[in-house]
Amino acid sequence: MHGNCCGKKHEDTPSVSADSTADIQRSRDENEISSHSFPFSSFGYAETVARNYTIDTSRAKTNKPVVSICAAKLGMREYPEGREDGGICDIYWHNNMQHDVKSIIRNPQSKINKFPGMSDLSRKISLTRAISSMRQLFPDEYGFYPSSWFIPAQLDAFIKYCDRCEKPKGTSISSQSSNWYIVKPDDGAHGTGIYLIQKPEEIRKPETCQLIQEYIADPYLLNDNLKFDFRVYAVIKSINPLSIYVAREGMARFCTEQYAAPSSSNFDNLYAHLTNYSLNKENNAYIHSLSLRDQIKGSKRLLSTVFHQMEARGVKKRQLWRDIKMIIVKTVIAMLPEIILNYEYYFYDTMGLQCFQIIGFDILITKNLLPVLLEVNSSPSLTIEHDIFCPFNDKENIEPLRVRSVVDEVIKIPLVRDTILLVLNLIGDAYPTQSQTLTHTNNKCSRKAIDDMGELRTNRRCHLTEVRNGQLL
C-alpha cells in the first residue's frame, strides 16, 4: 500500500473544531445543498479535467444518477446506453458484476468498478471464513470481529458453545456477558430476516444458510441513547500491489428507538437493535435531515458530526479513526487471496489491473471505544435521494415524496467523483499541492469538517486517503 493520494503526512480524521456543533446549528442556509451546489472549479480543478475520457453507465442502474452528475462535472463523455459504434470506454460503471464482463472490457486500459466474485466474498459466511482463517494465524490482529458460527455446518459447535456457557478466551469483544446472539441470513440485506436469540432451539429454519454472531450488548451511546453504527467507505484501487483508499467522510446510521440491553421483553424491538436504514425509515420516529443543520439530530448523520459529538464527551477521535482504518485494511487482506484468484480467472490474459471497487464497512463502537466490524457491503448504496411520507398520509396508500438527501450528497458525490479521478490517475491534476491546501498552527495541521457550505465549497483536499507502507496517515 502506497501513499496518501494527495501526498499529505498528517492526521485525516473526519474531525471538527471544538465549537462546530454550534456552528453547524447556526450557519446553514435554508436552501442548503443540491447536487448542483458542488461547483467543481471551487474544489481546485476545472470542470474539464477529464474531458478526454469516457464512461459507460448502461449497467449502473441505481448508481447512475450520482455517477452521471460526477461525470458531467468532470467533463467526461457519458454513454448511458453504451456505445453504439462499438468503441471502448475508459470506465465501465456497473451495479453488479456480470458474467460477460470479459467480452465488454476488451481494452486492457479500460477500468470496471467491480472485482469478480466480490459480492460472494463479502457475504456473511464467506467473510466469516476469511477472517476466521486469519484469526487462527494472527489472533491478536483479528479480534475486531464478533465470535461467529455459520449454520448448518457449525450448528453443533454453536450448541456445544452454548452448553458450556463460556466464551473462548480472547474471542469476546463485548465488555459484558449477554448470552444473546444475532442471527442473519447469509444472503440477506437491508436488515431483512435478522433476529435475536438466546438458545440454539430458537434458531428459525436451521437447515438454511445463516450466520450466528455474538451480540454486542454494550454499544457506545450519545446523549439521545440511540444505538448507531458507522458506514465507512473504502476504494480498492488495485490488488497487486494492494492499494486501499479510505474516504474522509462517512455516515452514521441511528436506530429510531432508545437502546436497552436485549431481554425477553425487548429482543424483538428491531428499531432499537438494528441500525439499518431500510428498516428504520419505516418507523414514524425516523428523522429525515432536510438540511445540514437538521442532521445533528437526524437518524442519518455525517461521520464527522458524530466524531465531534464523541470528542465533546472526551473521546480521542484520532486513535479511534486509526483503529477503524486498520480494521478496513486487515479485512481486505483477509479477503485478498480469493480476490486475486477470481481476478486472474477473468483477466488471466491481460496486462495491468482493470478493476476497482467502492466497498462499505459497517463498524460499531463499543462503550469501551473498541471498533467492531459488523459487515462488509460490496455494493453500498450510492443513491442521493430518500423517500419522505407526509405524517398525515397513510403509507400504504400514498406514494412517498422522493427528495434529495443532504447527508448522502455530501458523502457520496465527493466519494464517486474522487474515485473516478483516482482510477484515471487524475488526482494530481485535480487538486493543488499540500502547501496550498493546508494551514498549520504550531506545526500541527488544522482540520475542519463540513461545518458550513463555505467550507464545503473551498475544501480542496482529496476525499480519499491511502494507507501507505502499513501506516495509517
pLDDT at 397: 58
Cα torsion 344, 77, 419, 46: sign: positive
Classified as helix, coil or strand, 89 is coil
Rounded distance, CA 406 to CA 456, Å? 12
Give 243-288 as a DSSP string: EEEEES--EEEE-SS------TTTTT-HHHH---HHHHTTSTT---
- What are the pLDDT digits (tens) for 22-69? 443 443 333 333 333 344 444 444 467 888 999 999 999 999 999 999
The predicted structure's pLDDT at residue 263: 92
CB 415 within 8 A of CB 83: no
End-to-end CA distance of the chain: 12
pLDDT tens by residue, 266-299: 999 999 999 999 899 999 999 998 888 889 999 9
pLDDT digits (tens, 9 = 90+) for 162-212: 988 655 544 555 555 568 999 999 887 777 889 999 999 999 999 999 999
User: What is the set of domains in the chain, with CATH numbers?
Assistant: 20-37+218-466 (3.30.470.20)
How many angstroms separate the CA atoms of 381 and 378, rounded?
10
Higher confidence at residue 44 or residue 440?
44
- 266 and 258 in contact (C-beta within 8 Å)? no
* CB proximity list for 31: less than 8 A, separation 6 or greater: none
What's the pLDDT tens digit per position in 352-374? 678 999 999 999 999 999 999 99
